[in-house]
Structure 1
Amino acid sequence: MVTPLTQPIVFELEGFDVPPGYGAFLFFLALLHYMVMLLGNCVVLCVIVIDKNLHRPMFVMVCNLVVCDLLGATAVLPRLMIHFLTGQKKIAYIPAIAQAFSVHTYGVAAQTILGVMAYDRYIAVCEPLRYHTIMTSARLHSCCALAWFIALLLIGVLFAWHVDTPLCGNTIQHIYCSNRGILGLACSPTPINNIYGLSMSWFLSTSIFLVIAFSYCRILHASVKRGRADSTIRSKAFQTCASHLVVYVLYEISSLVVIVSQRFPSISQNIKKFFSILFTIVPPVINPIIYGLVSKELRASIIKHLTYIQVRK
C-alpha cells in the first residue's frame, strides 16, 4: 500500500533535459523572450491608460487581455529560467498550486475576454448608431468583470478537489505545474475532477467559438450589405475586427499544436515539452505587435508618446 505524503510537500518537476553547457544559453533566450513580452505588453497597457482618447471599450478589453497574457507568461517563464540557470526542479506545494492556478486561469480568461471582445465588435459594426447606448461604461466593466469571474469560478471549482486529495508521489511529469500533473500523483483515481475538467474545457471552447462565429457572420453580413453603398464602411469594419480575429486564431493554433504534438510518440520529449508551453509564451509576445500594427489609433498613440519621451531626453 502506498503511503500518502505528509506536509510540507515539495514537488519535483521533470523539466527539460538540458545538455551540459546549454543552460546559460537557454536562460538568456528565455530571459530575452520574457523581457520582450514585458516591454510590448507594458507599453500597450501604459499608453492605453495614459491616452484618454483610447479610453473606449475595445481598448479597455485589450488592457484586460494584456493583463491576462502577463499572468500566463509570468506564471511559467521565471521558474523556467531558474531551471535553465541552476538546474533547480523543486517547487513547494503552495507555489505549485499558485502556478497551476495561474496557468489555468490564463487559459480560461483569454477565451472569455476574446468572447466579450467579439460581442463588442458585433455591436460596434451591426448597431453603430446604438453602440454607445448599449455598450455603456457600466456594461463594459460588467462584461470585463464577468469574463474574469467566470474564469476564476471555473478554475476555483477545478482546484477545490486539491484540498483533501492525498498525494502519493512528488514528481510531476511536466515542465510546469498543472491540475492534471498534480492530481496525477493522487493515491487514488480522481474521476470527478477529470470529468469536470474535460466537460468545462469542451463547453467553454465550444461556447466561445459559437459566440465568435455568430458575431463574425453577422459582422460579415452587415459589412457586405453596407459596403455595396460605401466600400470604406466595409474596409473599416474589417480593419476593426482583424486584430481580434487574428489573436483568437493565434490562441487556437497554439492550443492545437500542444494537443497534436502529444499524439505523436516519434516526437522527442523535449520538443513535446516545448510545444506544451507555446500557449503561454507565443500569444503574449505577438499580441501587442498585432494590436500595434492593425490599430492605427493605438499605433499612432504609441509613436506619439515614444517621440515625446525622446524629445524630453
Structure 2
Amino acid sequence: MATRNNTVGITEFIITGFNDLEHPKAVGIVILIIYSLILLGSTTNICIIASDKRLHTPMYFFICNLAIVDMMYSSSASVTMLTILLVGVKTVSYKPCAAQMFLYHLGDVMEAFAIGLMAFDRLVAISNPLRYHSIITTNRILLLTITTWIINSSYMGFITGIVDGLPYCRPVIKYTFCDYPGLVRAACVNPDDYFVFPTIVVSLVIYGNFVFILLSYIWIICTVFKISSESRKHMFSTCFSHMIVVVCYFVPKFVANILTRVGLVLTIPERNGLHIVATLVPSLVNPVVYCLRTKEIRNRILRLFKDNTVIPSK
C-alpha cells in the first residue's frame, strides 16, 4: 500500500516535456495567442447569450456550458505551459500540480458530456419537434447539467485522492503539464496497477458519449430524409456546427487511445504535441464555430460592431 507523498519530501515537480524544443518562446507565443482567442471567443458567447433574453433557450444554455468547460479545460494546461515556455520556470509545486490535474481531467470528461448533451438537444428538436418544449424544460436541462458536473467532479476528486496517496521518488514529469499519467509515473509504484480503473472509466465516459452521439446522428439523418428538402437543408445546417465540434474533440482521442494500440508508434514529443492539440484546438474551434455559424450570435456580434462604429463628421 502506498504511503502519503509528504512523508517522502518531494514538494515540487520539474516539467521536462519542452526540453527538446529549439524555439520555446515561439511555441509559447503561439500557445498564448490560441489561449487568448479561446478566452475571448468563449467569453463573447457567454456574454451575448446572457445579455439577450431571446437566447435563453436550452440550445444556447448548452453552448454556454460548453464555453465554461472550454475555458477551464484550456486554462488547466495553458498556464503551466506558458510559464515554462515564456517565463522559463519549469517547476510546479505539488498542490498546484494536483489541482491542475483535477481541472484538466475534469474538463476533458466534461467536454464529452457537454457535447453529448448538445447532441441530445438536437435529437429531440429534430425527431420530436412538437414535444420539444415539454421534454427539454429548463428544470431538466439544469438537472442534467448539474448532475454531470457533480458526478464528474466526485470521480476526479477520487482520482486526485489516489494520486495524493502515492509515494513520490522521481520529481520529474516528462509531459508538458501535470496530468494523471505524469504524476503516476513519477511515483515509486508500478504505474500499470494505477491505470486499469481510470482507463476503463474514462473510456466508458468518452466513448460512451461518442456512441450516443453517433446513434443520435444516425437517427437524425433518418428523420431528416423523411421531410421536405427545404426543411432538410435547414436542419442539416443547424447540426453541422455540432458535427464540427464532435470531430475536433474525438479525432485526437482516437489517434491517442485507439491507433496507438493497434500499431501507431509515437515518441514522447509527438505524444506531448498530440495532447496539446487535443486540449487547445477543440476549445479554440468551439467558440469560433458557434460565433460564425449560429445566426443569432453572429447577428448580435455584427450589431455590436455596427452600433459602435464611429461615423466621422463632415
Q: Same fold (TM over 0.5)?
A: yes
User: Which of 219, 232, 249 matches 1:234?
Assistant: 232
How far apart, CA to CA, are the structure 1 residues paired with 2:311 and 2:72? Answer: 32
| Secondary structure at the counterpart of residue 92 of structure 2 | strand
Q: CA offsets, 1:61-105, max 9 Å, x none?
A: 011111111111111112211211232110000110011111101
How far apart, CA to CA, are the structure 1 residues paired with 2:64 and 2:104? Answer: 18
How far apart, CA to CA, are the structure 2 residues paired with 1:269 and 1:205? Answer: 23
User: Which of 10, 13, 26 matches 2:12?
Assistant: 10
Q: CA offsets, 1:88-124, max 9 Å, x none?
A: 1100001100111111011100001111111111111
TM-score, with length taken from structure 2: 0.89
Match of residue 289 from structure 1 = 288
Where do residues 251-262 of structure 1 align in structure 2 (5 Å cutoff)?
251-259=249-257, 260=259
CA contact (8 A) 1:109 1:151 kept: yes
Where do residues 1-313 of structure 1 align in structure 2 (5 Å cutoff)?
6-7=8-9, 9-17=11-19, 22-189=23-190, 193-225=194-226, 227=227, 230-259=228-257, 260=259, 269-310=268-309
How far apart, CA to CA, are the structure 1 residues paired with 2:45 and 2:125? Answer: 22
How far apart, CA to CA, are the structure 2 residues paired with 1:145 and 1:223? Answer: 31
CA contact (8 A) 1:112 1:148 kept: no
How far apart, CA to CA, are the structure 1 residues paired with 2:187 and 2:26? Answer: 36
How far apart, CA to CA, are the structure 2 residues paired with 1:213 and 1:28? Answer: 37
CA contact (8 A) 1:26 1:84 kept: yes
In the TM superposition, residue 192 of structure 1 has moved relative to its aligned partner by 5.2
CA contact (8 A) 2:10 2:171 kept: no
In the TM superposition, residue 311 of structure 1 has moved relative to its aligned partner by 5.2
How far apart, CA to CA, are the structure 2 residues paired with 1:240 and 1:309? Answer: 29
CA contact (8 A) 2:15 2:177 kept: yes
Deviates more, 1:291-300 or 1:175-184: 291-300
Deviates more, 1:124-133 or 1:164-173: 164-173
In the TM superposition, residue 292 of structure 1 has moved relative to its aligned partner by 2.0
In the TM superposition, residue 208 of structure 1 has moved relative to its aligned partner by 0.7
Q: Quick one: structure 1 residues 40 and 200, their matched pair in 2 at CA, closer, same or farther if it must change by over 3 Å?
A: same
| Secondary structure at the counterpart of residue 91 of structure 1 | strand
Give the aligned CA root-mean-square deviation in angstroms: 2.3
Q: Quick one: structure 1 residues 168 and 126, their matched pair in 2 at CA, closer, same or farther if it must change by over 3 Å?
A: same
In the TM superposition, residue 312 of structure 1 has moved relative to its aligned partner by 10
The amino acid of 2:286's aligned partner reads N
How far apart, CA to CA, are the structure 1 residues paired with 2:197 and 2:151? Answer: 15
In the TM superposition, residue 185 of structure 1 has moved relative to its aligned partner by 2.1
The amino acid of 2:12's aligned partner reads V
The amino acid of 1:279's aligned partner reads A
| Secondary structure at the counterpart of residue 190 of structure 2 | coil
Give unmatched runs, 5+ long, in structure 1. none
CA contact (8 A) 2:169 2:188 kept: yes
Q: Quick one: structure 1 residues 116 and 312, their matched pair in 2 at CA, closer, same or farther if it must change by over 3 Å?
A: farther
In the TM superposition, residue 272 of structure 1 has moved relative to its aligned partner by 3.3
In the TM superposition, residue 218 of structure 1 has moved relative to its aligned partner by 1.6
Q: Quick one: structure 1 residues 294 and 76, their matched pair in 2 at CA, closer, same or farther if it must change by over 3 Å?
A: same
Q: Quick one: structure 1 residues 19 and 195, their matched pair in 2 at CA, closer, same or farther if it must change by over 3 Å?
A: closer
How far apart, CA to CA, are the structure 1 residues paired with 2:303 and 2:59? Answer: 20
How far apart, CA to CA, are the structure 2 residues paired with 1:261 and 1:292? Answer: 34
Q: Quick one: structure 1 residues 310 and 249, their matched pair in 2 at CA, closer, same or farther if it must change by over 3 Å?
A: same
TM-score, with length taken from structure 1: 0.89
How far apart, CA to CA, are the structure 1 residues paired with 2:260 and 2:36? Answer: 27
Deviates more, 1:100-109 or 1:290-299: 290-299
Q: CA offsets, 1:207-255, max 9 Å, x none?
A: 2122112211221111111x2xx22221122112111121011101122
How far apart, CA to CA, are the structure 1 residues paired with 2:251 and 2:299? Answer: 29
In the TM superposition, residue 154 of structure 1 has moved relative to its aligned partner by 2.5
CA contact (8 A) 1:105 1:151 kept: yes
